[in-house]
Amino acid sequence: MTRSANLSFTNHNKVFRDSALCAPRYFRGGSPLIRIAPKLTENPVSSVACSLQSCLDHALLVPLRVFPNRSASVVSSQNQQIMFVFPGQGSQYVGMGSDLIRDFPSAQRRYEQASELLGYDLIKLCLDGPEEQLRLTRHTQPALLTHSLACLEIFQELTDHQVQPVLTAGHSLGEYCALVAAGALDFATALRLVQQRGECMGTYGDGEMLAFPLHLDSVRPLAEQHFCAVAACNLSDQTVVGGRGPDLDRLTEAALTHFPRKKPTRLKTEGAFHTFYMITAALHFRPTLDAAEMKAPAIRVLSNFTGSHHDPDPAAIKTRLFFQLFHPVNWIGNLETAFHDEITTIVEFGGGLGSGPNPEDKRPNLESMVKKALRGSDYSVHYHAAINSQTLRDAAKALQP
């Protein structure tokens, strides 16, 4: 199914301010990062501090810009500004990829390659589950990356590589898919990276996560009072928080006292991803990340850590991927940057949400966030799902020059 959405971009200052608030902050002595981080020795803290300073010296923080309303009309595929996007954990499901493997030989080959590299039968896990095994971070990340990139490969086949993006982005794990799509990583390297990333996050991570239908300014002070931390700034009214279970319970009570109609949603994760509870996991993941072969991307890629474009230097990209593990995902910043770049078309690859058991029952994961972020404006963006056999064919047909 092809989707076209009118997306709100009315309150410019508010959108930019929200994205800037979620951008990384400098941490000095006595900061929450150093004071609360669990079981860190002096050497790891020193390593984190030095790397953080190096990264922030180069970070492209999102500024508070103001520019006039724009209206994007329907344009031909030759002059569209296209962005490819990739979802993160939470969009996996048992049966994911079954239609691709059935309908496209390239998908069968890609899944077989992934199984060989991973050392277990990824096809059986994705098609048959069980769900509790697929939900484990060490399995979810390779499974979702393989599905997303199989969708991308099929789309490229269907369009004869004639539909190319000017920008790529991914939410959390999806950022690795975005780097593959931009030519910075090959599939095998990306798969090994996310396999190790998932292992480290599952083994060394701690805590749980809550999604609050509240602005960052409302959530962050309460979170810090209860030893929790912001994990993602998805929208101006959607902030994800991570922490240990009892702390999140107390935070929920406090938040409902202040905002009785804003009940948070508990997320099914193995840890408080993108918070200080992932520092130990990040330190164990870093040697694998440092050793990975990476090239400068051929097109622009958005960084969850800064909210803006990645520096093309592979060393700088690796540094930001390292910090992404224990800093908030600045998705609202990524959206702001994309629309400042005057993106007119978005194609989402991989995963899927919805209660139906079959791939064709699923809807794209990130589309609703894009709609909500830019609701009520005359800025029009065409959104295409490319997450199963049917939507891949529909998107390819709609965008084929």
Strands 82-86 and 167-170: parallel
- The C-alpha angle with vertex 238 and arms to 235 and 240, in degrees rounded to 5, equals 115
Q: Which residues contact 132 (CB under 8 A, 6 or more apart)?
A: none
Strand order in the sheet with 82-86: 2-6, 380-386, 345-349, 82-86, 167-170, 300-301
Q: Does the annotation mark 8 as catalytic? A: no
Handedness of CA 337, 150, 368, 91 (dihedral sign): negative
Query: DSSP assignment, residue 330?
Result: -
Beta-carbon neighbour count of residue 357 at 10 Å? 10
Q: Does the annotation mark 274 as catalytic? A: yes
Position of tokens 């991989």?
350
Spot the catalytic one: 98, 172, 308, 377: 172
Q: How many CA atoms, within 13 angstroms, populate the side-chain half-sphere of residue 161?
A: 1
What is the C-alpha end-to-end distance of the chain, expressed in Å? 18
- 3-state SS assignment for residue 184: coil
Spot the catalytic one: 226, 274, 309, 310: 274
Position of tokens 């190096």?
54
Residues tagged active-site: 172, 274
